Amino acid sequence: MNILVTGGAGFIGSHTVERLLQGGADNVSILDSFNDYYNPAIKRANVRGFADRVTVHEGDLTDAAFIRRVFEEGRFDAVIHLAARAGVRPSIEQPELYIDTNIKGTFNLLESARRTGCKHFVFASSSSVYGVNKKVPFAETDPILQTISPYAMTKMAGEQMCSNYSHLYGIKTVCLRFFTVYGPRQRPDLAISKFSRLIEEGKPIDKYGDGHTARDYTFISDIVDGILGALNYRTGPVCDIFNLGGSQTVTLNDLIATIEEAIGKKAIIHQLPEQPGDVPLTSADVGKARQFLNFRPQTTIAQGVPAYVEWFRKMRAAGVAVC
């Protein structure tokens, strides 16, 4: 199978590419802009171990002509679309950038898939689309009446575009709603990364609200299991949606305590008010993914945080600036 992984140099993308290669895939391409949302050197380090085994296309999702050339050259059987502008808070500050990248970029990919006959498209959505959902855990059948950040809005728009292209052109699309992915190589702006670095250095961490907000944290290897399950999912509706979560909702206070234990130091807390756009709770019902994608998350937060800290310290010792 000829596979394109967008965002293949990033956190989730690089792990996905590695797993594809380990599974025997011999025709994998990645598309990444290596932009400066965080240090591009981190992303280049991510691909160093497999760069000679894949085709790397460096460019921007919003460049329609570039995307057309990539698809004309690659003639892909399947796309795993992981590239995006991520993060709730930055999307409030720069909504136009998020609309351009996440909506226009996804359109460019789907349109090129249509033109070149690619018939399988896996789209990375987000638990953010659920907004302030009072029903717990969140299920794919829950009505989504209000998103509360530009980031979430762009992900919902991406799901709707996938639905359109499935209905109109017969492209099998699978939308995966990720629930707070973490682990080695995760972005430096994510909470576990920031907190680990600052606690290690004895600096204050920003804590928004009273610490009772909660997230369903999902370890990277479990997420990749779900992505590969979606890649091989050929039955069911032509457009389908699955939650991928760790089935372990953890409060901010408990997360900080877990990181403190892994680092071996107490955090210095800089207390701040709650942030606009942040949802109070995420919790995934993964029954559908378990049934159809054989998705069974294995790694608890008590196991995953120390694994991240071990990687973080190893990279620092090697002189790699990962934060």
Which one from 151, 182, 233, 308 is the annotated catalytic residue? 151
Residue 172: partners with Cβ closer than 8 Å, 6 or more residues away: 119, 120, 121, 166, 234, 238, 239
Is 151 an annotated catalytic residue?
A: yes
Question: What's the rounded Cα separation, in Å, for the pair 274 and 271?
Answer: 10
SS3 assignment for the chain = CCEEEECCCCHHHHHHHHHHHHCCCCCEEEEECCCCCCCHHHHHHHHCCCHHHCEEEECCCCCHHHHHHHHHHHCCCEEEECCCCCCHHHHHHCHHHHHHHHHHHHHHHHHHHHHHCCCEEEEEEEHHHHCCCCCCCECCCCCCCCCCCHHHHHHHHHHHHHHHHHHHHCCEEEEEEECCEECCCCCCCCHHHHHHHHHHHCCEEEEECCCCCEEECEEHHHHHHHHHHHHCCCCCCCEEEEEECCCCEEEHHHHHHHHHHHHCCCCEEEEECCCCCCCCECCECCHHHHHHHCCCCCCCHHHHHHHHHHHHHHHHHCCCCCC
Cα separation of 299 and 183, whole Å? 10
Catalytic residue numbers, as ranges = 151
